[in-house]
Amino acid sequence: MKTDRRSFIRTSAVAGAAFTAAPFIRAAAPGRKFRTALIGCGWWGKNILKEAMASGCCQTVALADVDATVLEVAADQVNALSGDTPKTYKDYRELLAREKPDIAIIATPDHWHALNTIAAVAAGAHVFVEKPTGHTVNESRAMVKAVRDSGRVAQIGLHRRIGPHHVSGIQFLKSGAVGEVGMVRVFAHGGGDVEKPAPNEEPPDGMDWNFWCGPAPLRPFNKRIHPGGWRNYLDYANGQLGDWGVHWLDQVMWWSDGAPLKRVFCAGGRPVRGAPVLNAKEQTTDAPDHQIATYEFEKFTCVWEHRRFADNNSEKHKIGAYFYGTKGVLHLGWRDGWTFYPAAKSGKIEHGAPQLQEPDGHNLALLWSDFMAAIDARRAPVANIEVAHRASVLPLLGMVSWRTGRSLAWDAATETIIGDPEANGLLSRPYREPWIYPQA
Amino acid sequence: MRLRKSSARGHAQLAALFLAAAPLLAHAADWPQWRGPARNGIATEKGWLDQFPAVGPKIAWRAQVGLGASSFVVAGGRAFTMGHADGKDTVFCFEASSGKPIWKHSYPAELGDKFFEGGTTGTPTLDGDRLYTLSRWGDTFCFDAATGKILWSVNVQKETGCRVPDWGFTGAPLVLDGRLILNVGEAGVALDKTTGKILWKSGDKDAGYSTPLPVELGGRTLVLLGSSKSYLAVTPVDGKEAWRAAWVTEYGVNAADPIVSGGRMFISSGYGKGGALFTLGTGAPDEVWRARAFRTQLNAAVLHAGHLYGVDGDTTSIGGIKCLDFATGTEKWAHKDFRVGALSMADGLLLALSGTGTLVIAPASPAEFKPTATAKILDGKCWTAPVLAHGLIYCRNTNGAVVVVDARKP
């Protein structure tokens, strides 16, 4: 599952070109392009923006990033690709106020998603924001409210909601071919080892590190955090569970039509990576190197597992979801597509080939196309805010259980933890001044 | 103006002059340093096989050196490279003709697998009977090239306090007039090549990933370096900056060495940046043309008879070989689907290794790309240019599989 996450501009048609969306033809106002802005100009943000440019429906008018060099590079790349000359901003609030974009793409780290999204829809923009929705549960709830109140379209980056082999895999499940499914196992495994601390440094010239940290705690700058490493720092994200976990738990929500969670228990730690280090001189990551979370639903149980060591070569599939049914096991995966292993000895293995955009193995073009169509048709997109909220809450609750070390009973109707004030307190977190935690 | 001949003596006459001396004496067909005798990616050797037998090329030897993209240096019948395995970097010395191990030296080093498999990225430098190496984390060694005995070693990162860029120090050491110049810090650092003592250093900013390139310019010697936000020139005596061309690239990956010819400098980076030609004078360089679609991410192009030949694209892209007119930046041809491999040249022929391990030989011509020989010799990812020395073509992949193709005429 190692991928190189650095590619932005490619020279020619990608291998998976067959699975990119056909250019979306806008029914309403066909000549006019959406004034589009990108907030957070890292690798993934630019991948999304590239789909916006490729769709032919968007003009890139502005970019925001707290690192002046990153901004300069992104503006140059946009110009090379589209001829657009976007204005650049350090502060997303200034961008929204001055540019009034039709669309804001938000690809900041998780701890910024809520504030960015709420400000963007309040400024009248449709939003494409990365998963997970929030960093804590109540941020996610505030995002749902803000999007609903605004009447804007929000698409969340759960491209596995529209990826062709996911669509056919879920169809296969829903057809009853797997029988009664009583248990699901979702997982993401990779290799890894002991972690040595990396030295803290001065932030790069032209980067406002204080702003990058924003509402989250201000850690000393460290290259292991940025660029590209913040997912394993719990101040800014929620480790593997808050990354891959969202995608695969969303597949479970899709299959189960959003079954309400009843109870969760999560265990895990850093027996291999080692105890987290954070001092003035150096630091390590602090996300668990493995976690197991058990999610109890009325009609089935779902287990999440991740391990960042012992790269699991003993199993056929290293990532994805196993749906265990009376007629067999369906594995829904990534680059291995989906595979059905029938229970009956006489049964035939069935396979759905992966259909992905390479080299990164996603389906962003399709997701972007659906976003455009949803805006024009004034309908909900496939990975709308309610869908993404449901999928994001599961890992976030897993993290609360892991932090408190106990099983949590969840009231899905009120979105509160039953009889546990301390755990309920962890559905939010204190913000660093001057930032204010958003309210649902 | 011409490229300064380095102290590694790539020059035929020089070599002839010293022919009777020590066993590691340089020879015209040697490749004693990164990018070859003239630091331009071109071997001086002629008369080697430009075609392979129907059954495939003859393989002289194979070896396993560990993870990384380090290239080879070859002189005095010995070939050197580096690799990483099990928490250690290893410097290898092989008998060039047979691959027989002569000596090796290992030292603890981080794998450094940020966005790739990790391992060594720098290349050793031969200077007479000495071999110099720089690790991604600053470990600098001076070896007796014949025996592997350590003559001195120092961690230049710890000594200077200069930060390590995202992918570590990668440029090969440059030996110039008694100094060892390294791409460490914002604008390089110089050590006394006989003692390892720091002579001068630059600011604590990210280094780029290019190899220091000595050039004669306006009657003086300058050393060109890719830094994280520019390509710049320093005077080798004191490290004083002469000029810089602002060149901001994603992640600060200014890796490809500049190409200097006729008072002009070509630079190019990946991540959609592209290439540009500058005129050089005493002040800041002036841009002449820009070529968006010629992006040399890891390895520089070669300049031959007024044309640039190089690999365009990022390691994750389809990649391709392209030919551009040096004076105008006009693209002459593009050969796609090459992945991001690397190339060198000898005797008017391109010697290219595709990103997936296919060795290709083709005349360097602006008219067309028409290979005379093609052979799949490696699997995995190949990010290292083939090195031709004494009729042998040294190739490797990032997993450390080394394949040496015998291209000597029978």
Q: Give the total residue count for chain B.
A: 410
Q: Are B114 and B166 in contact (CB under 8 A)?
A: yes
Q: Are A157 and A131 in contact (CB under 8 A)?
A: yes
pLDDT(A13) > 90: no
- The rounded distance, in Å, linking the Cα atoms of B404 and A314 is 35
Looking at the domain assignment, is residue B81 inside a domain? yes
Q: What does the pLDDT read at residue A15?
A: 35
pLDDT single digits (tens) B136-194: 999 999 999 999 999 999 999 999 999 999 999 999 999 999 999 999 999 999 999 99
Across A79-103, b (16+ Cβ under 10 Å) vs e yields ebbbebebebbbebeebbeebebbb
Q: Please name the residue ranges forming H helices in B130-275.
A: 156-160
What mean pLDDT value characterizes chain A? 93
* Whether A47 and A183 share a structural domain: no
Would the CB atoms of B314 and A6 count as touching at under 8 Å? yes
Chain B residues with beta carbon closer than 8 angstroms to that of A12? 318, 320, 336
Q: Which residue of B has its CA nearest to A78?
A: B272
| CATH code of residue A114 | 3.40.50.720
Looking at the domain assignment, is residue A167 inside a domain? no
* Whether A191 and A285 share a structural domain: yes
Q: Which residue of B has its CA nearest to A70?
A: B250
Looking at the domain assignment, is residue B7 inside a domain? no
Would the CB atoms of A80 and B274 count as touching at under 8 Å? yes
Q: Which residue of A has its CA nearest to B312?
A: A11
**Average pLDDT of span A224-244:** 96
B319/A contact by beta carbon, under 8 A: yes
pLDDT(A417) > 50: yes
**B158 exposed, middle or buried (CB, 10 Å; 0-12, 13-18, 19+)?**
exposed
- Please count the structural domains in chain A: 2
Q: Which residue of A has its CA nearest to B206?
A: A204
- The rounded distance, in Å, linking the Cα atoms of A245 and A240 is 6
Looking at the domain assignment, is residue A207 inside a domain? no
Between chain A and chain B, how many beta carbons pairs sit less than 8 Å apart? Answer: 80
Sheet holding B58-64, edge to edge: B58-64, B401-406, B392-396, B387-389
Q: Are B140 and B182 in contact (CB under 8 A)?
A: yes
* Whether A190 and A77 share a structural domain: no
pLDDT single digits (tens) B215-266: 999 899 999 999 999 999 999 999 999 999 999 999 999 999 999 999 999 9
DSSP state of B244: E
pLDDT(B11) > 70: no
Q: What does the pLDDT read at residue A311?
A: 82
Q: What does the pLDDT read at residue A32?
A: 84
Amino acid A251 reads: Q
Would the CB atoms of A14 and B318 count as touching at under 8 Å? yes
pLDDT(A6) > 70: no
Chain A residues with beta carbon closer than 8 angstroms to that of B163? 201
Q: What does the pLDDT read at residue A20?
A: 52
| pLDDT tier at B1, thresholds 50, 70, 90 | very low
Looking at the domain assignment, is residue A439 inside a domain? no
Tell me whether the omega of the peptide bond preceding residue A199 falls within 30 degrees of 0, making it cis: no
Q: In a mutagenesis test of the A interface, which of B115, B164, B290, B399 is the best target, namely the one with the most A β-carbons within 10 Å?
A: B115
| CATH code of residue A233 | 3.30.360.10
| pLDDT tier at B316, thresholds 50, 70, 90 | confident
| pLDDT tier at A420, thresholds 50, 70, 90 | very high
pLDDT(A191) > 90: no
Looking at the domain assignment, is residue A431 inside a domain? no
| pLDDT tier at B318, thresholds 50, 70, 90 | confident
Q: What does the pLDDT read at residue A359?
A: 83
Looking at the domain assignment, is residue B1 inside a domain? no
- The rounded distance, in Å, linking the Cα atoms of B178 and B156 is 17
Q: What does the pLDDT read at residue A22?
A: 56
Q: B18 — alpha (psi -120 to 50), left (phi > 0) or beta? A: alpha
Q: What does the pLDDT read at residue A1?
A: 35
Q: How far is CA B178 from CA A4, B6, B73, in A?
A: 40, 11, 20
**Average pLDDT of span B106-127:** 95
Taking the C-alpha atoms of B324, B326, B330 and B332 in order, what is their torsion angle to the nearest 10 degrees?
-30
Chain A residues with beta carbon closer than 8 angstroms to that of B274? 80
Cα B180 to its chain centre, rounded Å, is: 16
B287/A contact by beta carbon, under 8 A: no
Q: Which residue numbers of A have CB closer than 8 Å to B's CBs?
A: 2, 4-15, 69-70, 72-73, 76-77, 80-81, 196, 201-202, 204-205, 223, 227-228, 359-360
Sign of the alpha-carbon torsion through B76, B77, B80, B85: negative
Option in B251, B314, B336 nearest A227 (CB)? B251
* Whether A304 and A340 share a structural domain: yes
- The rounded distance, in Å, linking the Cα atoms of A308 and A273 is 9
A136: three-class secondary structure by DSSP: coil
In this predicted model, which residue has the larger pLDDT, A380 or A20? Answer: A380
Looking at the domain assignment, is residue A206 inside a domain? no
* Whether A182 and A84 share a structural domain: no
Please state which of the ranges A200-209, A306-315, B68-77, B381-390 shows the lowest mean pLDDT: A306-315
Q: What does the pLDDT read at residue A11?
A: 29
Residue among B321, B367, B325 nearest B344 (CA): B321
Looking at the domain assignment, is residue B148 inside a domain? yes
* Whether A322 and A185 share a structural domain: yes
Domain that holds residue A132: 17-161+363-384
pLDDT(A10) > 80: no
Would the CB atoms of A76 and B293 count as touching at under 8 Å? no
Would the CB atoms of A69 and B312 count as touching at under 8 Å? no
Would the CB atoms of A5 and B115 count as touching at under 8 Å? yes
pLDDT(A7) > 60: no
**Average pLDDT of span B91-118:** 96
**B5 exposed, middle or buried (CB, 10 Å; 0-12, 13-18, 19+)?**
middle
* Whether A281 and A418 share a structural domain: yes
Domain that holds residue B344: 12-406
Q: Please name the residue ranges forming H helices in A308-384.
A: 364-377
The string of DSSP codes covering B94-133 is EETTT--EEEEEEEE-----SSS---B----EEETTEEEE
pLDDT single digits (tens) B281-310: 888 999 999 999 999 999 999 999 999 999
Looking at the domain assignment, is residue B3 inside a domain? no
Residue among B377, B380, B385 nearest B359 (CA): B377
| CATH code of residue B16 | 2.130.10.10
Looking at the domain assignment, is residue A5 inside a domain? no
**Average pLDDT of span B390-407:** 97
**Average pLDDT of span A252-271:** 98
Dig out the tokens for A22 from the structure: 């056909």
How far is the alpha carbon of A277 from chain B, nearest alpha carbon, in Å? 18
How far is the alpha carbon of B150 from chain A, nearest alpha carbon, in Å? 28
Q: What does the pLDDT read at residue B228?
A: 95
**Average pLDDT of span B16-39:** 70
| pLDDT tier at A27, thresholds 50, 70, 90 | low
The ipTM (two decimal places) reads: 0.78
B112/A contact by beta carbon, under 8 A: no
Q: Which residue of B has its CA nearest to A195?
A: B110
Would the CB atoms of B229 and A196 count as touching at under 8 Å? no
Residue among A334, A3, A365 nearest A155 (CA): A365
Looking at the domain assignment, is residue A329 inside a domain? yes
Q: What does the pLDDT read at residue A26?
A: 62
Residue owning tokens 């999440």: A304
Chain B residues with beta carbon closer than 8 angstroms to that of A69? 229, 248, 252
Q: Give the total residue count for chain A.
A: 440
Query: Which residues, in sequence order, are bridge partners of residue A323?
Result: A184, A330
DSSP state of B185: S
How far is the alpha carbon of A184 from chain B, nearest alpha carbon, in Å? 31
* Whether A292 and A343 share a structural domain: yes
| pLDDT tier at B28, thresholds 50, 70, 90 | confident
Angle at CA of residue B197, ends B195 and B203, nearest 5°: 150
| pLDDT tier at A17, thresholds 50, 70, 90 | very low
Run of H or E including A350: strand A350-352
Chain B residues with beta carbon closer than 8 angstroms to that of A42? none
Angle at CA of residue B101, ends B100 and B106, nearest 5°: 165
**A376 exposed, middle or buried (CB, 10 Å; 0-12, 13-18, 19+)?**
middle
DSSP state of A31: T
**A115 exposed, middle or buried (CB, 10 Å; 0-12, 13-18, 19+)?**
buried
* Whether A152 and A78 share a structural domain: yes
- Please count the structural domains in chain B: 1
How far is the alpha carbon of A329 from chain B, nearest alpha carbon, in Å? 33
* Whether A126 and A191 share a structural domain: no
* Whether A185 and A107 share a structural domain: no
* Whether A128 and A102 share a structural domain: yes
Q: In a mutagenesis test of the A interface, which of B316, B333, B398, B399 is the best target, namely the one with the most A β-carbons within 10 Å?
A: B316
Q: Which residue of B has its CA nearest to A76?
A: B273
pLDDT single digits (tens) A318-375: 999 999 999 999 999 999 999 999 999 999 999 999 999 988 899 999 999 999 999 9
Would the CB atoms of A10 and B313 count as touching at under 8 Å? yes
Amino acid A231 reads: R
- The rounded distance, in Å, linking the Cα atoms of B377 and B366 is 27
Q: What does the pLDDT read at residue A314?
A: 85
B185/A contact by beta carbon, under 8 A: no
Would the CB atoms of A72 and B116 count as touching at under 8 Å? no
CB neighbourhood size of A239 (10 A): 25
B313/A contact by beta carbon, under 8 A: yes
Query: Which residues, in sequence order, are bridge partners of residue B243?
Result: B233
B166/A contact by beta carbon, under 8 A: yes
Option in B114, B252, B271 nearest A9 (CB)? B271
Q: What does the pLDDT read at residue B2?
A: 42
Chain A residues with beta carbon closer than 8 angstroms to that of B293? 11
pLDDT single digits (tens) A70-109: 999 999 999 999 999 999 999 999 999 999 999 999 999 9
Chain B residues with beta carbon closer than 8 angstroms to that of A83? none
Chain B residues with beta carbon closer than 8 angstroms to that of A282? none
